[in-house]
Amino acid sequence: MLFLQRRMLFLQRGMLFLQRGLLFLQRRMLFFQRWMLFLQRRMLFLQRGMLFLQRRLLFLQRRMLFLQRRMLFKRRGILFQRRGLLFLQRRMLFFQRWMLFLQRGMLFLQRRLLCICIYSPMGVTGK
C-alpha cells in the first residue's frame, strides 16, 4: 500500500512537472506570436512609408521634368529655374536616402521574422 501511494505521488509530481512545462511552452508561443504580430505591423508601417516616399519621388521627378522642359523652351529666368531644379534634386536625394533607410529597416525586420519562424516552437504556421 505504501509503495502504491509513493508511486502515485511520483506520478502526480511528474504530471505537475509536465503541466508546468506545457504552460511555459504555451506562454513562450504566445510571446512569439505577439512578437511576430508586432514585427508584421512594423513592416506594414514601413511599407506604407515607402509607398508614400515613392509617390513623393514620382511627384518630384515629374516636377523636375516640367522645369527642365520649361528651361528648354524659355530662356528667361533660367537662374531661378536652375535654383528650383537644384532644390528639387536635393529633395529627391533626401527622399531616396530616407527610402534606403526604410528598406534597411524592413530587411532587418524580415530577418527577425525569419529567425522567429525558424527557432520558435510553433514553426512558420503558428499552430
The per-residue pLDDT string of the chain (127 residues; one tens digit each, 9 = 90 and over) reads 898 999 999 999 999 999 999 999 999 999 988 988 898 888 888 888 888 888 888 888 888 788 777 766 666 555 556 677 788 888 888 888 888 888 888 788 888 877 777 776 655 555 4
Domain assignment of residue 105, yes or no: yes
Q: Distance between CA 90 and CA 84 in Å, rounded?
A: 10
Residue span of the structural domain in which 105 resides: 34-127
Q: Cell 527610402 identifies what position?
A: 99
Whole-model pTM: value is: 0.53
* H helical segments located in the chain: 2-73, 78-119
Domain assignment of residue 4, yes or no: no
How many domains does the chain contain in total?
Answer: 1
